[in-house]
Structure 1
Amino acid sequence: MNIATSPAALAGISETEWQIRCDLAALYRLVAHHRWTDFIYTHISARLPGPEHHFLINKYGVNFHEMRASDLVKIDVDGNIVDPRPLSQSDVNAAGFCIHSAIHMAREDLVCVVHTHTAAGIAVSAQKDGLLPLSQHACKFYGRIAYHGYEGIALDLDERERLVKDLGEHKAMILRNHGLLVGGTSIPEAFLNIYMLERACAAQVDALAGGREIVLPPPEVCAHTAEQFRRGENEAHYAMVWGAALRLVEDGKPDYRS
């Protein structure tokens, strides 16, 4: 495609930003595909390169299954819209800004942040013991997951400091009585992290619902498994998973790359 007539050029957006927009829109579609949505609520964001600390977030009110690259809104860490297109402040959900800006300001290693409100994620977030290492999926996060206590709808900016403190150096966090949050050094890694955490929570809810005594692996086995995951994951692995995932949303209408 000639750069002069590309969607990016027509929208006054760089080719680099347009690619990130396309990948982020695809991630929204994948979250919808796996039924991890909560109607128009919850958010996924991606950091844009550069010293301005800008990031992309969904335009409030757009369903995840219909998200397009052009539906994403560029904002700064203060919540101001810096998108070149005419948009209003009501196009950004305040709670989404609060949570995502906190992570993006403090963790420059995390390019993408995903927040979900699934039934399984909320259920595990309300269980006192949190995520149990009762599945291989859960063992990926053994010793590598944080918890943040519920403070109400995330509208108070002073909560950002506590969110960041609780997350620490982890890439996954359970928001008590609320849902799940993960980050990734790339959009593909963030997708894999939320996929694994959602599967882990769903397995836990189903196992506990069976009403029978459960078996947990010994702590040393859980730690070994977590280390196996850590050693096996890299950008090449994330890219392979991402390529397979994109094929699930290739035929969506309208095209997520529009």
Structure 2
Amino acid sequence: MGNRSYLIINKPGKPQEILFEGNNSLAHFWLLLLEKQDIENVRGTYREAYQPGDEDAEIDTDIKIDKDRALENVGRRRYYIAQAYPELLSYFDEWVAYLGKQPTTDNILFIDLVQVAGFYKSPDEFLDSLLEFYGKVAQGQPAFEKTLSDTSGWDGTGDESFATVSPGYRGFPQVDSFSPIGAQAKTPGRIKALNYTWGAVSLLMVAGLFYLFGLFPHFWQHLLIALLFVPVIFISIRGFLLVEKWSKQPVRKAEGE
């Protein structure tokens, strides 16, 4: 089943209707509905949810936000999508419009992300990563992939599904793997670190061969050791080429739910 996440609304006659959901994924459009304080407000309950104890105990971990305030927040952050993901702007507008027209009995949106925290070492680390996301939003930095699971999430159980009103929804790849925010980022610093690491490994392999020269005194042994330099050099060069190839490829995830 995976680690689920939900965007929920209480509709007349249909309480707890799932508008959107995720499976092993984090829908970043949902975060644009919130403010930092909304994240901080659930820190205690998230910690409680991950404490050893009665697994059947019900703990309310939903992030609750007034629908009008959520729409105001997401409207203010439209500039971020326009700047960092201009090709997603029309889809983003469709998604916001869909949320705005949903009837509600209490004018509250419920966002359940607690299972996603299971991908992190602790709920605090997860919540801190969400707070870091807002820093990237403020700076206009891309922070997620242009896939359905990373943006709006999958269509939920509503009477009028988002797919029926959004032409862009059906065109998105659906993926179910999850990486913490920034884990897949191919930044210059990360690429340089990989090159340095592989360079150190290559030097260790070469140093090991030189050590063998001193360990074995006979000429025929030296000849065999010298022959090992060819595959070692090949492996070293191949490693650097693979890092370069990886750095130029877009991040893709496995398809399916």
Tell me: higher relative CO, structure 1 or 2? Use CA pairs within 8 A at least 6 residues apart.
2
**Normalization by structure 2: what TM-score?**
0.23
Structure number, greater radius of gyration: 2
**Normalization by structure 1: what TM-score?**
0.23
Higher helix share goes to which structure? Answer: 2
